[in-house]
A = this chain, B = another copy of it.
Amino acid sequence: METIKIGLIGLGTVGAGVLEIISDPENQAKIENTIGRKLAVKTIVVHNPNKPRPVDTTGINVTTDVDEIVKDPEISIVVEVMGAIHPANEIIEELLQAGKNVVTANKDLIASNGPKLSALANANGCDLMYEASVAGGIPILRTITNSFTADQILEVKGIVNGTTNYILTQMREKQWSYDHALKRAQELGFAEADPTNDVAGIDAAYKMIILSLFAFGTQIKLSEFNVSGIENITDQDVKQAGQWGYVIKLMGVAKLVNEKLFVEVAPTLVAKSHPMAVVDNENNAVMVTGAAVGDTLFYGPGAGGLPTANSVLSDITSEAKNITLQTTGKSFNSYQHERQLADPADVKYSYYLAMTMPDVSGQMLAFTTLMTKVGASFERIEQTNREDKLADVAVITHAMTNQQLAELKQLVAESETLKLDAAYKVLPS
């Protein structure tokens, strides 16, 4: 049986996971049984070849020189799991120009430069696949490409960042503050020392860019949509949401509004009966709503070496099939459709608002006057008086546009006594 030789660039958690899965004899037997080819890692490029590794590299050429992969005609599939945009971008360009099929888990790179690299792959008759770049172990990109070809996707929404979902779950279950939950997550390795990329929603935003490309055929930029993180969510918000039957999730959404595309990453209240409400801790989920199929949801581990490595392997085995059938050079995602971004005046949600106001007569009147001024109205409201003569007022509004919300924020900011501490979307059920 013919062996397909693989080059591996990077041997961190995911790289080691890829090697572990491929080296397992039971997995090898299944792969050979299914695709009729053997897979073998021939060469691994690392920074420091002398560093001890948690995985056996016996018989594999471990080097610091990427040319030992680029210039090796025996290697037909290269897995890039070094991370970061540079020099990964330049290395992948070089690999594609050399006719190598590339598999990557690099979401920052794909979100920023995916279409250009895909075009380069096509031009060189080879493939670029990146299933592992979104939602770790969930096979969501290939599913959108293969199973929604004939349907119009109306909305894709996802809990696509494991770190923030872990923090929010712990805040809810243990009544912890955000700071305490973040500290514990860092101690347990679920959050990085500098957690900004995760907690500010950037990581989730990269994944929504890739999901939007697959679902809507449209490439958007990070600067083109609103990205809010979880840093300002208080234990009081979590508790109030819970009392009203909601959990708070960092939710990415991409949906069509009047044929235009609305994309956002922001904290969102999700009703406890909604299938996304039970997606807890480091798990991820993506809900795809199609005009014909309705709501479908894909759930699984959002990160971790082996789950992410399994998604890399799904690319490798697909690629091996393409090589065998001589069908390389087709795009991973071939749906392209230019769309304008939606007008904020057309995008409507209910909102959870957390206000602080002096606990004196007339304040609620002042607030309701502002609400009325922008044409918004209350669905429910709860006031809790604090010890410092201030009152916490929590509100769920009826559906209002982004435009109305912006006007309301402006009016509250101009008020001398009212303070808007939080405004989070409520996911329609």
With A21-B150, A296-B137, A301-B295 in contact, is A30–B278 under 8 Å at CB?
no
Establish whether residues B275 and A292, one from each chain, have CB atoms under 8 Å apart when the complex forms.
no
Establish whether residues B300 and A299, one from each chain, have CB atoms under 8 Å apart when the complex forms.
no
Establish whether residues B301 and A299, one from each chain, have CB atoms under 8 Å apart when the complex forms.
no
| Interface: A383 (CB within 8 A) | no
Taking CB atoms and an 8 Å cut-off, the chain A residues in 127-152 that contact chain B are: 131, 137-139, 142-143, 146-152
Of all chain B residues, the one with the shortest Cβ separation from A297 is B299
| Interface: A33 (CB within 8 A) | yes
Q: Report which of B31, B297, B330 forms a contact with A298, defined as CB distance below 8 A.
A: B297
Establish whether residues B137 and A294, one from each chain, have CB atoms under 8 Å apart when the complex forms.
yes
C-alpha gap A337/B279 in the complex (Å): 33
| Interface: A423 (CB within 8 A) | no
Of all chain B residues, the one with the shortest Cβ separation from A151 is B310
Of all chain B residues, the one with the shortest Cβ separation from A308 is B293
| Interface: A316 (CB within 8 A) | yes
C-alpha gap A149/B318 in the complex (Å): 9
| Interface: A336 (CB within 8 A) | yes
Establish whether residues A30 and B150, one from each chain, have CB atoms under 8 Å apart when the complex forms.
yes
Q: Report which of B142, B292, B310 forms a contact with A292, defined as CB distance below 8 A.
A: B310
- For A17, the chain B residues whose CB sits under 8 A away are 292
- For A76, the chain B residues whose CB sits under 8 A away are none
Q: Report which of B39, B139, B217, B318 forms a contact with A33, defined as CB distance below 8 A.
A: B217
| Interface: A167 (CB within 8 A) | no
**Cβ distance A333 to chain B, nearest Cβ, rounded Å:** 9
Q: Report which of B27, B137, B143, B295 forms a contact with A150, defined as CB distance below 8 A.
A: B27
| Interface: A226 (CB within 8 A) | no
| Interface: A307 (CB within 8 A) | yes
C-alpha gap A297/B48 in the complex (Å): 38
Of all chain B residues, the one with the shortest Cβ separation from A331 is B34
**Cβ distance A287 to chain B, nearest Cβ, rounded Å:** 8
| Interface: A253 (CB within 8 A) | no
**Cβ distance A346 to chain B, nearest Cβ, rounded Å:** 20
C-alpha gap A301/B289 in the complex (Å): 11
Q: How many positions in chain A have a CB within 8 Å of any CB in the partner chain?
A: 60
| Interface: A311 (CB within 8 A) | yes
C-alpha gap A353/B142 in the complex (Å): 43
- For A311, the chain B residues whose CB sits under 8 A away are 147, 293
Establish whether residues B292 and A306, one from each chain, have CB atoms under 8 Å apart when the complex forms.
yes
| Interface: A244 (CB within 8 A) | no
Establish whether residues A139 and B147, one from each chain, have CB atoms under 8 Å apart when the complex forms.
yes
| Interface: A356 (CB within 8 A) | no
**Cβ distance A197 to chain B, nearest Cβ, rounded Å:** 24
- For A325, the chain B residues whose CB sits under 8 A away are 325, 327, 330
**Cβ distance A95 to chain B, nearest Cβ, rounded Å:** 22
| Interface: A208 (CB within 8 A) | no
| Interface: A426 (CB within 8 A) | no
| Interface: A309 (CB within 8 A) | yes
Of all chain B residues, the one with the shortest Cβ separation from A147 is B139
- For A274, the chain B residues whose CB sits under 8 A away are 278
C-alpha gap A327/B323 in the complex (Å): 12
With A34-B334, A147-B139 in contact, is A152–B26 under 8 Å at CB?
yes
- For A316, the chain B residues whose CB sits under 8 A away are 150
| Interface: A81 (CB within 8 A) | no
- For A295, the chain B residues whose CB sits under 8 A away are 299-301
A sample of 19 more A-B contacts (CB under 8 A), given A30-B149, A137-B294, A296-B299, is A27-B152, A34-B335, A39-B150, A139-B143, A142-B146, A143-B147, A150-B313, A275-B275, A275-B279, A290-B310, A292-B306, A292-B313, A293-B307, A293-B311, A294-B300, A298-B299, A299-B299, A325-B327, A325-B330
Pick the 3 closest A-B CB pairs, nearest first. Answer: A139-B147, A296-B300, A150-B313
10 examples of A-B residue contacts, CB within 8 angstroms:
A30-B149, A30-B150, A35-B149, A147-B314, A150-B314, A150-B316, A293-B301, A293-B310, A295-B300, A325-B327
